[in-house]
């Protein structure tokens, strides 16, 4: 029987849309806006926050999505500072589709407020730092476990090699004793 994650195994809320968690997490990663992500998932804010309190896997995914969203915001801010424009991938996708269909498409107008973006990044720096630290700790733990497993395997190979060498040494010693001339004088 396959193992289910905590959020997959969690009972669906009555009236909640199917897969609302995945929709919410995807929208949260794009927007860093909890209320907008809840609207996209067609779920109430109270349900979202309750699920975050009760489901550790959902809580982990929530913070990872926020980190992704803040990374996206930081990249948008850097792009705006360097070029005066914000690279809008959705607008680029719409233009590419229009070019393929040979119909003109206007990219959606997007106003970028650098001061607000900077304030949001500063306000959430600590929580993003904590999440990155947690992810780094998990990565570090996995690396340490991998190193320990390799060391254990090396020790096992060394022990086996010592047994083989000891057996060869005993056989060589036994052969030497059996084939040695008898020097005892009668």
Span 89-133, pLDDT tens digits: 555 555 555 555 555 555 555 566 777 777 777 777 777 677 777
**Residue 16 DSSP one-character state:** P
Q: Identify the pLDDT of residue 21.
A: 95
Q: Which residue has the higher pLDDT, 71 or 186?
A: 71
Please state, in angstroms and rounded to a whole number, the distance separating the CA atoms of residues 79 and 146.
Answer: 38
Q: ∠ at Cα 69 (67, 71), nearest 5°? A: 70
For residues 146-165, give the mean pLDDT.
Answer: 90
Please state, in angstroms and rounded to a whole number, the distance separating the CA atoms of residues 157 and 163.
Answer: 10
Q: What is the residue-wise DSSP string for 31-98?
A: H--HHHHHHHHT--HHHHHHHHHH-HHHHHHHHHHHHHHHHHHHHHHHHHHHHSS---HHHHHHHHHH
pTM for this structure?
0.47
Please state, in angstroms and rounded to a whole number, the distance separating the CA atoms of residues 13 and 44.
Answer: 11
Taken in order 110, 112, 113, 119, the sign of the CA dihedral is positive
**Residue 181 DSSP one-character state:** -
Q: Identify the pLDDT of residue 14.
A: 59
Q: Which residue has the higher pLDDT, 23 or 81?
A: 23
- The answer on pLDDT for 82 being more than 50 is yes
Helix (H, G, I), strand (E, B) or coil at 162: helix
**Residue 125 DSSP one-character state:** H
Mean pLDDT of the chain: 76
Q: Identify the pLDDT of residue 112.
A: 67
Q: Identify the pLDDT of residue 9.
A: 46
For residues 139-157, give the mean pLDDT.
Answer: 84
Span 14-73, pLDDT tens digits: 567 888 999 999 999 988 889 999 999 999 999 999 999 999 999 999 988 988 888 888
């Amino acid at each position: 029987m396959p193992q289910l994650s905590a959020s997959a195994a969690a009972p669906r809320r009555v009236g909640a849309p199917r897969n609302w968690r995945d929709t919410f997490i995807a929208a949260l990663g794009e927007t860093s806006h909890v209320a907008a992500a809840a609207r996209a998932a067609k779920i109430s804010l109270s349900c979202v926050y309750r699920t975050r309190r009760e489901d550790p896997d959902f809580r982990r995914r929530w913070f990872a999505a926020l980190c992704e969203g803040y990374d996206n915001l930081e990249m948008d801010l850097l792009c705006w500072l360097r070029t005066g424009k914000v690279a809008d991938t959705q607008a680029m996708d719409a233009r590419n589709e229009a070019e393929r269909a040979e119909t003109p498409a206007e990219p959606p107008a997007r106003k970028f407020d650098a001061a607000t973006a900077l304030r949001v990044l500063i306000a959430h720096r600590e929580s993003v730092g904590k999440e990155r630290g947690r992810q780094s700790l998990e990565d570090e733990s996995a690396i340490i476990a991998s190193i320990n497993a390799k060391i254990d395997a090396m020790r096992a190979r060394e022990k086996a090699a010592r047994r083989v060498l000891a057996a060869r040494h005993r056989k060589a010693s036994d052969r030497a004793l059996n084939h040695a001339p008898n020097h005892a004088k009668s």
